[in-house]
């Protein structure tokens, strides 16, 4: 089983839709959590950090449930420019300092 | 500030050849890392460093060596290239391992 698992998608949604991505992680030593965005043939870039209290940045909301080892990302009012791959990322300090990436969920937003 | 730079952008090698992928950062970050990205696999950590003179293995270290003689540079060496090492390689840096990582533009490597 992978340490960080995501629904691979792809998700195909119309503009204006709300879409939710889920991610589970298996290592309870995990310390920090992020969502990254990766455009085709580009490097990943930070979308937002994820906190236990939940956090929001404009149309994006991230949630963390440590008890269930579950992370989510909600995108409201989808735009064409949101089309990308969304990566769930977990940092842990166990056997070294490690960053584990999920395989990513591909999102296509259609006009 | 350039952030994180990687060279070369593209490289084609023959099986058995060796080469070094360069990574440099001007962000004065202590933590640097190398990842490879393959279709359907996500990014996998090859090696990382928490400061000059300190390196450690990640998830997929076999076939790769690293060194960290300065804060700025973190080269990745392929000792004897194999077709299984065909991938996109990303270098990244962070102020601390648990913070946001900043990535270079990547090196696309093909081993024939």
pLDDT digits (tens, 9 = 90+) for A54-79: 899 999 999 999 889 999 999 999 99
Give strand pairing partners of A97: A93
Q: Measured between CB atoms, does A46 come within 8 Å of chain B?
A: yes
Does the distance separating the beta carbons of A46 and B100 come in below 8 Å?
yes
pLDDT at A42: 94
| pLDDT band of A92, cuts 50, 70, 90 | confident
Tell me the HSE value of B62 on the side-chain side, using a 13 A CA sphere.
Answer: 2
pLDDT at B97: 73
pLDDT at B98: 77
pLDDT at A94: 65
SS3 state of residue B70 = coil
Does the distance separating the beta carbons of B98 and A93 come in below 8 Å?
yes
Task: Name the residue among A31, A45, A87 with its Cβ closest to that of B98.
Answer: A31
Instruction: Give yes or no for a contact between A101 and A4, defined as CB atoms under 8 angstroms apart.
Output: yes
| pLDDT band of B92, cuts 50, 70, 90 | very high
CA distance A105 to chain B (A): 10
Average pLDDT of B39-58? 91
Q: Name residue, tokens 């960053």.
A: A99
pLDDT at B96: 80
In chain B, residues 34-93 whose CB comes closer than 8 Å to chain A: 35, 40-45, 48, 50, 56-59, 90
Q: Tokens representing B34? A: 């190398």
């Amino acid at each position: 089983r992978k340490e960080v698992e995501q629904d691979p998608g792809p998700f195909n949604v119309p503009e204006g839709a709300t879409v939710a991505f889920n991610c589970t992680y298996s290592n309870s030593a995990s310390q920090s959590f992020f969502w990254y965005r990766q455009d085709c043939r580009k490097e990943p870039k930070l979308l937002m950090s994820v906190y236990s209290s939940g956090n929001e940045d404009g149309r994006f909301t991230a949630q963390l449930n440590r008890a269930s080892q579950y992370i989510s990302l909600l995108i409201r009012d989808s735009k064409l420019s949101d089309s990308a791959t969304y990566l769930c990322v977990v940092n842990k300090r166990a056997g070294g300092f490690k960053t584990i990436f999920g395989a990513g969920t591909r999102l296509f937003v259609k006009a | 500030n350039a952030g994180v730079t990687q060279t070369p952008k593209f490289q084609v090698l023959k099986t058995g050849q060796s080469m070094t992928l360069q990574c440099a950062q001007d962000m004065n970050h202590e933590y640097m890392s190398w990842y490879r990205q393959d279709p359907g696999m996500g990014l996998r950590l090859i090696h990382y460093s928490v400061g000059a003179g300190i390196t450690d293995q990640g998830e997929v270290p076999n076939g790769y060596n690293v060194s960290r003689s300065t804060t700025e540079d973190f080269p990745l060496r392929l000792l004897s290239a194999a077709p299984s090492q065909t991938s996109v390689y990303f270098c990244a840096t962070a102020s601390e391992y648990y913070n946001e990582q900043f990535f270079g533009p990547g090196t696309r490597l093909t081993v024939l």
